[in-house]
Amino acid sequence: MSGPTDLTFADIDRDEALLEAVAALHGETRAAFLRKAAIGGGALLAALAMPPSAGAAARLTDTAVLQFGLRFERLQATFYTEADRLGTVGRMPAAKQQWARTLGAHERAHVRIIKQILGDKAGPRPFFDFHGSTESDGSFTRTAVAMEDLTVALLTGVTPHMQDRRLSAALFGLLTTEARHAAWARHLVGTTPAARSFDDPRPVADVQSIVDATHFIRASPRLRRRRSRPRFTG
Amino acid sequence: MSRRRILAWAAGGAAAATLAAVAGSGPAGTAADRAPAATPDGAVDARGLPAPVRPAFTPGRPRALGADRFTSRWAPVRRPATALARPAAGAPAVARVAARTPEGTTNIVLVIGRRTDAAGRVWVRARLATLPNGRTGWLPRSALGGYGTVDTELRVDTARLTATLLVRGRPVFRAPVGIGQTRWPTPRGRFYVRDELTRFAGRTYGPVAFGTSARSSVLTDWPAGGFVGIHGTDRPDLVPGRISHGCIRLRNADILVLARLMPVGTPLTVD
């Protein structure tokens, strides 16, 4: 296991899907980004919190923020649920089981309430493909750490933009909870729970790019077809 | 230290002025936004501090996952692959698995097991849509897409000529069915629903037809390989009965109800 200060982003993101996207946001190749990050004493997960080179947050409506938030919460809830259902969580040490199951229950509760708030505007559940990262302790943990940190960066970025103060108050409640999730995850992998003295906000567009780059959210398989004449035996 | 004293300490002196400036967010601030009154010793009277903004929502109690015994898992075939007899590279091939069904939909397999080999590769044991019926094989996890889940199961009783849909183990729908004639029997065993076709021309199959992984072991030269469907009919007078080429026919009103309740990926048992 990595020591408390030498955990690199690549350690967490072994498939490097997130890394590619983060590097792109900084206008660099993956190799250049890694090199630069290494000079600074290890990329750490602070890579997620480094300010991107360009792009101010677009003006977002409260509904759009909640819709993106729901998409992201669904991603997390499905991730933890799938790992639990597949038995990956059950094979972990007791402390990690408690962590994974607590986070899974929290994320499902977040999904329920945001869906309820959005009502008809919630949209259909996306189809997720975690590319096997729910199927082993190592890849599950690495992805969970990156995902929780990303959630904190997202909520830090969007919460001040909410026009309805009561909605921003609710998102602050989610933000502090997600920050505890991130710290708990970091503690479990043996890295510093609070790596920096300040969490920089991250625009939704950046988070969207990072999530897109993981390819965790996929087009639904085409299971239904119209006007295709059946050729079953009849 | 009491809560009030802590607040007074935190907000004392210059900090009190800062708090007041932050709280007074506009020229016409509300009573709650106004600066709290200072006590004679310079500390802030905590009773004058604004109340927190009431959140628009708060999540309900977190709930642990329930029992999993009614959940079945399926996965789309991401790329054509060879199903193997064992979860190991080099094991004998069992069948070739395509990425598309003959109907042009995404091919899916029903997941019935998983194993990680010594090299750390994950293998998935899947029910296959091949002859002989009931065959299973191991596919590399990388050949499959994300998992879908269902909590439904369809049971077809060929003696009673009924179809029963269970949701989380409880029957929610039952209807009479037509099944294969003696010379073209509906295959028995465990299968799954792998696609759903609608709005096609012609009335033979009714308004909805589900494709299944079951295949006729007799009509092997049927177009597209003789897959067994579950569909409506233009001859409702023949249902229930042993009247088809192997397909499972329901009256049109029944197949429409079933289509609302049964997702693709549902396990199918014919016995």
Does the pLDDT at position A171 exceed 60?
yes
- Please give the helix or strand (H or E) that residue A146 lies within, else none: helix A137-158
Q: What is the pLDDT of residue A99?
A: 96
Nearest alpha-carbon partner for A52 in A73, A69, A72, A33? A33
All residues of chain A having their beta carbon less than 8 Å from the beta carbon of residue B259 are: none
**Mean pLDDT value across residues B98-122:** 94
* Residue B127: HSE in the Cβ half-sphere, 13 Å Cα cutoff: 23
Q: What span, in angstroms and rounded, lies between the C-alpha atoms of A214 and A131? A: 9
Does the pLDDT at position A41 exceed 90?
no
CB distance B211 to B145 below 8 Å = no
CB contact under 8 A, B114 and A86: yes
Q: What is the pLDDT of residue B8?
A: 45
**Mean pLDDT value across residues A37-50:** 40
Of A228 and A36, more confident: A228
**Which residue in the set A102, A112, A230 is minimally distant from B209, CB to CB?**
A230
**Which residue in the set A168, A224, A232 is minimally distant from B229, CB to CB?**
A232
Does the pLDDT at position A183 exceed 90?
yes
Q: How many C-beta atoms lie closer than 10 Å to residue B171's C-beta?
A: 11
Is residue A53 less than 8 Å (CB to CB) from chain B? no
Q: What is the pLDDT of residue A6?
A: 40
For residue B144, give the chain A residue with the closest CA.
Answer: A131
Whether residue B80 is preceded by a cis peptide bond, meaning omega within 30 degrees of 0, is no
Mean of per-residue pLDDT scores for chain A: 80
Does the pLDDT at position A202 exceed 50?
yes
The alpha carbon of B160 is separated from its chain's Cα centroid by a whole number of angstroms, namely 29
Q: Could you tell me the two tokens for B250?
A: 């329901």
The alpha carbon of A68 is separated from its chain's Cα centroid by a whole number of angstroms, namely 12
* Residue B180: HSE in the Cβ half-sphere, 13 Å Cα cutoff: 25
Q: What is the pLDDT of residue A19?
A: 52
pLDDT digits (tens, 9 = 90+) for B208-257: 999 999 999 888 888 888 999 999 999 999 999 999 999 999 999 999 99
Q: What is the pLDDT of residue A28?
A: 54
Does the pLDDT at position A52 exceed 50?
no
DSSP-assigned letters across all residues of B214-266: EE-SS-TTSGGG-EEEEE--S-GGG-SEEEESS-EE--HHHHHHHHHH--TT-
Is residue B229 less than 8 Å (CB to CB) from chain A? yes
Does the pLDDT at position B23 exceed 60?
no
pLDDT digits (tens, 9 = 90+) for A105-157: 999 999 999 999 999 999 889 999 999 899 999 889 989 998 998 899 889 99
Q: What is the pLDDT of residue A207?
A: 83
Q: What span, in angstroms and rounded, lies between the C-alpha atoms of A26 and A9? A: 15
Residues 194..223 of B with a Cβ closer than 8 Å to A: which?
A: 194-202, 204-205, 209, 211, 216, 219, 222-223
Q: Binning pLDDT at 50, 70 and 90, where does residue A209 land? A: confident
Which residues have CB under 8 Å from A197's CB, separation 6+? Answer: none
Distances (CA, A) of B193 to A234, B27, B210: 16, 65, 7
Q: What is the pLDDT of residue A205?
A: 84
Q: Could you tell me the two tokens for B69?
A: 């015994």
pLDDT digits (tens, 9 = 90+) for B35-86: 566 677 777 777 878 888 999 999 999 988 887 889 999 999 999 999 999 9
Of A80 and A206, more confident: A80
Percent share of chain A, pLDDT over 70: 75
Nearest alpha-carbon partner for A73 in A7, A154, A12? A154
Which residues have CB under 8 Å from B213's CB, separation 6+? Answer: B110, B127, B128, B129, B191, B192, B194, B227, B268
CB contact under 8 A, B201 and A223: no
B93: phi then psi, degrees, rounded to nearest 5 = -75, 145
pLDDT digits (tens, 9 = 90+) for B75-87: 999 999 999 999 9
All residues of chain A having their beta carbon less than 8 Å from the beta carbon of residue B55 are: 166-167, 169-170, 172-173
Q: What is the pLDDT of residue A60?
A: 73
Q: What is the pLDDT of residue B33?
A: 52
Does the pLDDT at position B147 exceed 60?
yes
Q: Binning pLDDT at 50, 70 and 90, where does residue A86 land? A: very high
CB distance B232 to B244 below 8 Å = no
Q: What span, in angstroms and rounded, lies between the C-alpha atoms of A129 and A225? A: 22
Distinct helix (H) and strand (E) counts, chain B: 3, 17
Q: How many C-beta atoms lie closer than 10 Å to residue B102's C-beta?
A: 18
**3-class SS shares of chain B: helix, strand, coil, % to 5:** 15, 35, 50
Does the pLDDT at position B1 exceed 80?
no
All residues of chain B having their beta carbon less than 8 Å from the beta carbon of residue A168 are: 53
Does the pLDDT at position A10 exceed 80?
no
Does the pLDDT at position A37 exceed 90?
no
Q: Binning pLDDT at 50, 70 and 90, where does residue A173 land? A: very high
Mean of per-residue pLDDT scores for chain B: 87
Q: Binning pLDDT at 50, 70 and 90, where does residue B263 land? A: very high
CA-angle at A164, arms to A159 and A168, nearest 5°: 30
Q: Binning pLDDT at 50, 70 and 90, where does residue B18 land? A: very low
CB distance A177 to A107 below 8 Å = no
For residue B60, give the chain A residue with the closest CA.
Answer: A109
Q: What span, in angstroms and rounded, lies between the C-alpha atoms of A131 and A217? A: 10
Whether residue B132 is preceded by a cis peptide bond, meaning omega within 30 degrees of 0, is yes
All residues of chain B having their beta carbon less than 8 Å from the beta carbon of residue A105 are: 62-65
**Mean pLDDT value across residues B157-163:** 98
CB contact under 8 A, B216 and A112: no
Domains in chain A, CATH or no CATH each: 9-221 (1.20.1260.10)
- Please give the helix or strand (H or E) that residue B155 lies within, else none: strand B152-157
Does the pLDDT at position A44 exceed 70?
no
DSSP-assigned letters across all residues of B12-35: -THHHHHHHHHH--STT--GGGSP
Chain A nearest C-alpha distance from B236 (Å): 14
Q: Could you tell me the two tokens for B235?
A: 């001859």
Percent share of chain B, pLDDT over 90: 72
Chain B nearest C-alpha distance from A40 (Å): 33
Q: Is the dihedral of CA A172, A175, A181, A185 positive or negative?
A: negative
Residues 62..81 of A with a Cβ closer than 8 Å to B: which?
A: 81
CB contact under 8 A, B63 and A105: yes
CA-angle at A24, arms to A18 and A30, nearest 5°: 70
Task: Average the pLDDT over each of A23-27, A178-182, B131-135, B225-229 and give the range with the smallest value.
Answer: A23-27
